[in-house]
Amino acid sequence: MAYSSSLGYPRIGANREWKKALEAFWSGKIEESELHAQLQDIRLNHLSKQRDKGIDLIPVNDFSYYDHVLDTAAMFGMIPDRFEYNGGPVPVSVYFAMARGNKDATACEMTKWFNTNYHYIVPELGGITPVLTENKPLAAYREAKDKLGIEGKPVIVGPLTFLKLSKGYAASETDAWLDRLLPLYAQVLKELEQEGVNWVQVDEPILVTKLSDTDVSRLQKIYQTLKAAAPGVRIMLQTYFEAVERYQEVTQLPVDGIGLDLVHGGAGNRQSIRDFGFPQDKVLGAGVIDGRGIWKASLREKLDLLNEIAATVPSERLVIQSSCSLLHVPVTVQAETKLQPELLGALAFADEKLEEIVLLSKAVQSGASVISAELEKSEAAVTALKRSGERNRTDIQQAVAAVSAEPAQREAAFAKRLDVQQERWQLPILPTTTIGSFPQSAEVRKARQLWRKGEWNAEQYTNFIREQIDLWIQLQEEIGLDVLVHGEFERTDMVEFFGEKLAGFAFTQNGWVQSYGSRCVKPPIIFGDVAWEKPMTVKETAYAQSKTKLPVKGMLTGPITIMNWSFVRDDISREQIAYQLAYALRQEVEALESAGIGMIQVDEPAVREGLPLKEQDQKGYLEWAVKAFRLTTCTVQNSTQIHTHMCYCEFHDMIDSIIDMDADVISIETSRSHGELIQSFEENTYPLGIGLGVYDIHSPRVPDVEEMTRMIDRALRVLDPKLFWINPDCGLKTRGIGETVASLRNMVEATRLAREKYALQV
Ligand code: GLN
Ligand code: ZN
């Protein structure tokens, strides 16, 4: 057999047609019928593309109008009351309101899909009675068959994964919910069976996370029920992103195939296959092509891997596939014309990965010789990049090895540094500051475009940026802030800005991936050894400092955030990449310090995003992540104050690592998790400088003084006023100028009142 299979194809379209169609509809530029027509074109195009590449098992129902978890919730009628849904197929207005909110109802929560940068809409179960509103996989299957003659493989989110990702119910109600949901899943499968569907892919990525005995029993019940309901449909139980837990029990479930990720968590899965074998009545979905990375595979290595597996699972029972859905990679390398040849030659996005899958399945069926030319080509491409100058900067490799062997420690301990810094800065108690960026108005964005297009020369652009800095230094002084920032007007994005200036990075023209809904990101590619070449931020920061007597904080993005928001090379470890970034950024920290900047903030909002899914790997990750931060910041003088900032995450379970970063001051976003965070400070004293955001910058609302006073009072119940800073909870770049100034004025007033109240305690 050795089928080739696709687990899911990017929705966004080669030219982001999908995004454009959605946004045109949302802004009222196209009618609903036009939206359906455009999305159908895109969907069918993706199906025929996969067929033309030679893929045997083509996924249907992987396409979505927003998100596949939201689709599943909508299919089961799980629509919270506030959206005023009245039964029947879910109208697009309701569907999009759940995703984006409308004037009457706030959107459902959105969160990260496992350890990827894709975000799904969190289903709210609450008091809802689930019903099957429409059999979506069936509709998708029929469409592919009627329009293109394709026998699609419907993809659905599995019951256990769906339940575990949902909220609004107590753990004790899990089984009751399962009992409500299972008949609906059974109904979906039964109808697929009646229609003559051969394979169904049931995605259960939750099986790579910790599973209790109860979960295993639930899985048995789920798959027994589904099998009994539709014995004629073959179920591929698909896992990904890590090694599957409870391998022996999972592979015994009454399904027809088990899909395993043989790239991420590949070592664990291979070990399980070796140790426990693989059932003879099942097909193995061998996820050998990396569905999340952007690199061309060494086909030879992949064939070796498949040969190793063939010792346990004969080729008649192998399906060759990617490690996960291709949703997480850009569409095609075809559009790239500007990358250097060694890099371009070594890239494989979704379309190219499908070709690799087809080649491997041919080789497994008919022997490696049938693809000998391609084997050589892939080897040559991988080798060329490996030999490129960018991957062989011995100067960098040696320096990083030396630096990372050092203890990465500030000269003095925090208490001593605090004294020295206090003497230097003479800050009042409860110092006020902001997180770095100020509003990127239309004017700022336009100026950058003019400059990028060459309509403005460097001098015009620099002058414009300086005017913005002048304006905001003046405003910050007038508002009465204690520690100022230059405003980050020269930056589009906190990762791209640095990537463009460091060696070892490349930028695609069209390498977009979906982040959430219609929002796409174009991550930089770290393909070579990372090197600092010249100061990146000194000019603007020093300029700002020259305009005021108050301290101006320098602003950098930290090594872990840069790494986690980029596509990275896979020939060295992430730890090594982090250290290279740390070494490069340390040189920027030193350059700022030499230019007289005495407070430097190294932002690490994405530290938690890189946390491995397996508990046993988390400690190791946090250790080297913290070390990378310390390497970046440890060489400055005691009087130089290192700040950091984190957001979008739950910190309570990593507070020890945060303390370990040894930043003089941290600012943390708290608006969305205030209670939990405060609680964690009740349990652990935080011994360094800390600012808990006293207002939420994600809303245009101007918070009043009393509201911020309450936030300050609450925080000071558990934190030391001597160490407490007052700031908004994130950068202000997305806010309007008027609301920003008004909010900051209120913040300074709340601080004045708090100082009166707490001065005696210091
Ligand atoms: N310094 C950055 C800013 O203010 C921090 C952004 C972030 O936390 N994501 O924009
Ligand atoms: Zn932030």
Among 36, 652, 674, 698, the active-site one is: 698
Token pair of 498 as six digits = 């640095």
Cβ-based neighbours of 722, under 8 Å, separated by 6 or more: 429, 762
How many angstroms separate the alpha carbon of residue 260 from the centre of ligand 1? 37
How many angstroms separate the alpha carbon of residue 610 from the centre of ligand 1? 18
Which H or E element spans position 200? strand 199-203
For the segment 605-650, what is each residue's pLDDT rounded down to a tens digit?
999 889 999 999 999 999 999 999 999 999 999 999 999 999 866 7
Ligand index nearest the alpha carbon of residue 436: 1
For the segment 167-185, what is each residue's pLDDT rounded down to a tens digit?
999 999 999 999 999 999 9
Question: Of ligand 1's atoms, which has the minimum distance to the CA of residue 605?
Answer: 8
- Domains 3-8+56-80+108-386 and 428-490+669-762 fall in the same CATH topology: yes
How many angstroms separate the alpha carbon of residue 343 from the centre of ligand 2? 33
The reply to whether 16 sits in an annotated binding site is yes
CB contact at 8 A, 280 and 294: no
Under DSSP, the state recorded for 232 is T
How many angstroms separate the alpha carbon of residue 42 from the centre of ligand 1? 35
Token pair of 436 as six digits = 């770095």
Determine the Cα–Cα distance for residues 616 and 135; give it in Å rounded to an integer: 40
Determine the Cα–Cα distance for residues 634 and 614; give it in Å rounded to an integer: 30
Report whether residue 605 contacts ligand 1, using a CB cutoff of 6 Å. Answer: yes
Alpha helices in 10-119 (DSSP H): 17-26, 32-53, 68-75, 92-100
Residue scoring higher pLDDT (309 or 684):
309
Please state which CATH class domain 428-490+669-762 belongs to: alpha beta
Q: Per-residue pLDDT for 564 more than 70? A: yes
Confidence band (pLDDT; 50, 70, 90) for 674?
low
Q: Per-residue pLDDT for 81 more than 80? A: yes
Cβ-based neighbours of 541, under 8 Å, separated by 6 or more: 486, 552, 554, 555, 592, 595, 597
Q: Which of 286, 285, 328, 291 is nearest to 303 (CA)?
A: 286
Ligand index nearest the alpha carbon of residue 555: 1
Long-range contacts (CB closer than 8 Å, 24 or more residues apart) made by 586-590: 586/403, 586/631, 586/632, 586/633, 586/634, 586/635, 587/532, 588/532, 588/535, 588/536, 588/537, 588/538, 588/556, 589/554, 589/556, 589/632, 589/633, 589/635, 589/636, 590/635, 590/636
- Phi and psi of 443, rounded to 5°? -60, -45
Q: Which residues pair with 285 in a beta bridge?
A: 259, 319
For the segment 696-729, what is each residue's pLDDT rounded down to a tens digit?
888 888 999 999 999 999 999 999 999 999 999 9
CB contact at 8 A, 119 and 68: no
Ligand index nearest the alpha carbon of residue 693: 2
Cβ neighbours, 10 Å, residue 739? 17
Name the residue type at position 223.
Y
Q: Once rounded to an integer, what is the mean pLDDT over residues 45-50? A: 98
CB contact at 8 A, 153 and 651: no
Q: Per-residue pLDDT for 672 more than 60? A: no
Token pair of 152 as six digits = 């699609």
**What mean pLDDT value characterizes the chain?**
95
Question: Of ligand 1's atoms, which has the minimum distance to the CA of residue 647?
Answer: 8
- pTM attached to this predicted model: 0.95
Please state which CATH class domain 3-8+56-80+108-386 belongs to: alpha beta
Confidence band (pLDDT; 50, 70, 90) for 1?
low
Would you state the pLDDT for residue 571?
95
Cβ-based neighbours of 467, under 8 Å, separated by 6 or more: none
Q: Which of 667, 665, 557, 660 is nearest to 603 (CA)?
A: 557
Q: Per-residue pLDDT for 675 more than 70? A: no
- Phi and psi of 483, rounded to 5°? -120, 125
- With 0-12 / 13-18 / 19 or more C-beta atoms within 10 angstroms meaning exposed / middle / buried, residue 144 is buried
Report whether residue 730 contacts ligand 1, using a CB cutoff of 6 Å. Answer: yes
CB contact at 8 A, 220 and 253: yes
Question: Is 36 one of the catalytic residues?
Answer: no
Report whether residue 645 contacts ligand 1, using a CB cutoff of 6 Å. Answer: yes
Closest residue to atom 9 of ligand 1, CA basis: 605
Confidence band (pLDDT; 50, 70, 90) for 760?
low
Report whether residue 494 contacts ligand 1, using a CB cutoff of 6 Å. Answer: yes
The reply to whether 336 sits in an annotated binding site is no
Closest residue to atom 3 of ligand 1, CA basis: 731
CB contact at 8 A, 371 and 362: yes
Cβ-based neighbours of 519, under 8 Å, separated by 6 or more: none
Quickly tell me which residue has 């982001």 as its tokens: 16
For the segment 375-412, what is each residue's pLDDT rounded down to a tens digit?
999 999 999 999 999 999 999 999 999 999 999 999 99
Determine the Cα–Cα distance for residues 143 and 176; give it in Å rounded to an integer: 34
Would you state the pLDDT for residue 224?
98
CB contact at 8 A, 666 and 645: yes
The reply to whether 565 sits in an annotated binding site is yes
Confidence band (pLDDT; 50, 70, 90) for 762?
low
Would you state the pLDDT for residue 126?
83
How many angstroms separate the alpha carbon of residue 532 from the centre of ligand 1? 21
For the segment 190-202, what is each residue's pLDDT rounded down to a tens digit?
999 999 999 999 9
The reply to whether 647 sits in an annotated binding site is yes
Helices 372-387 and 350-366, axial angle in degrees (round to 10): 130
Determine the Cα–Cα distance for residues 344 and 506; give it in Å rounded to an integer: 10
For the segment 565-576, what is each residue's pLDDT rounded down to a tens digit?
999 999 999 999
The reply to whether 290 sits in an annotated binding site is no
Closest residue to atom 5 of ligand 1, CA basis: 731
For the segment 241-286, what is each residue's pLDDT rounded down to a tens digit?
999 999 999 999 999 999 999 999 999 999 999 999 999 999 999 9
- Phi and psi of 132, rounded to 5°? -85, 110
Q: Per-residue pLDDT for 673 more than 60? A: no
Q: Which of 559, 526, 534 is nearest to 631 (CA)?
A: 559
Would you state the pLDDT for residue 703?
93
CB contact at 8 A, 643 and 665: yes
For the segment 646-666, what is each residue's pLDDT rounded down to a tens digit?
986 677 788 899 999 999 999
- Phi and psi of 120, rounded to 5°? -115, 165
Ligand index nearest the alpha carbon of residue 732: 1
Name the residue type at position 75.
M
For the segment 473-524, what is each residue's pLDDT rounded down to a tens digit?
999 999 999 999 999 999 989 999 999 999 999 999 999 999 999 999 999 9
Q: What percent of the chain clears pLDDT 90, i.e. is strictly above it?
A: 92
Cβ-based neighbours of 493, under 8 Å, separated by 6 or more: none
CB contact at 8 A, 28 and 57: no
CATH label, 491-662, candidates 2.60.40.10, 3.20.20.140, 3.20.20.210, 1.20.1250.20 = 3.20.20.210
Confidence band (pLDDT; 50, 70, 90) for 684?
confident
Determine the Cα–Cα distance for residues 300 and 644; give it in Å rounded to an integer: 45
Q: Which of 434, 437, 668 to mutate to test the pocket of ligand 1 (most atoms within 8 A of CB)?
A: 437
Ligand index nearest the alpha carbon of residue 735: 1
Cβ neighbours, 10 Å, residue 223? 22
Report whether residue 600 contacts ligand 1, using a CB cutoff of 6 Å. Answer: no
Determine the Cα–Cα distance for residues 81 and 437; give it in Å rounded to an integer: 38
Would you state the pLDDT for residue 363?
96
Q: Which of 645, 647, 649, 669 to mutate to test the pocket of ligand 1 (most atoms within 8 A of CB)?
A: 645
For the segment 430-487, what is each residue's pLDDT rounded down to a tens digit?
999 999 999 999 999 999 999 999 999 999 999 999 999 999 999 999 999 999 999 9
The reply to whether 519 sits in an annotated binding site is yes
How many angstroms separate the alpha carbon of residue 551 from the centre of ligand 2? 21
Strands 513-516 and 519-521, by their bridges, are antiparallel
The reply to whether 270 sits in an annotated binding site is no
Would you state the pLDDT for residue 535?
98
Report whether residue 603 contacts ligand 1, using a CB cutoff of 6 Å. Answer: yes
Residues around ion ligand 2, judged by CB within 5 A, are 605, 647, 730
Determine the Cα–Cα distance for residues 602 and 633; give it in Å rounded to an integer: 8
Strands 119-121 and 110-112, by their bridges, are antiparallel
How many angstroms separate the alpha carbon of residue 714 from the centre of ligand 2? 21
Closest residue to atom 1 of ligand 1, CA basis: 436
Please report the beta strands in 459-595, taking only residues with DSSP state E, as ranges in sequence order: 484-485, 503-506, 513-516, 519-521, 525-531, 552-557, 567-568
Determine the Cα–Cα distance for residues 265 and 243; give it in Å rounded to an integer: 4
Would you state the pLDDT for residue 761?
65
Cβ neighbours, 10 Å, residue 415? 9
How far apart, in Å, do the first and last CA atoms of the chain sit? Answer: 75
Closest residue to atom 10 of ligand 1, CA basis: 731
Token pair of 488 as six digits = 């980050």
3-state secondary structure 100-119: HCCCCCCCCCEEECCCCCCE
Q: Which residues pair with 579 in a beta bridge?
A: none
Would you state the pLDDT for residue 648?
64
Report whether residue 647 contacts ligand 1, using a CB cutoff of 6 Å. Answer: yes
416: three-class secondary structure by DSSP:
helix
Residue scoring higher pLDDT (106 or 479):
479
How many angstroms separate the alpha carbon of residue 644 from the centre of ligand 2? 10
Q: Once rounded to an integer, what is the mean pLDDT over residues 99-106? A: 90
The residue ranges of every structural domain in the chain are 3-8+56-80+108-386, 428-490+669-762, 491-662
Would you state the pLDDT for residue 647?
82
- With 0-12 / 13-18 / 19 or more C-beta atoms within 10 angstroms meaning exposed / middle / buried, residue 319 is buried
CB contact at 8 A, 492 and 452: no
Cβ-based neighbours of 353, under 8 Å, separated by 6 or more: 289, 290, 291, 297, 322, 326, 329
The reply to whether 512 sits in an annotated binding site is no
Determine the Cα–Cα distance for residues 8 and 631; give it in Å rounded to an integer: 40
CB contact at 8 A, 509 and 560: no
Q: Which residues pair with 283 in a beta bridge?
A: 257
Cβ neighbours, 10 Å, residue 753? 14
Name the residue type at position 567.
F
Question: Of ligand 1's atoms, which has the minimum distance to the CA of residue 646?
Answer: 8
Q: Per-residue pLDDT for 677 more than 80? A: no
Determine the Cα–Cα distance for residues 602 and 121; give it in Å rounded to an integer: 31
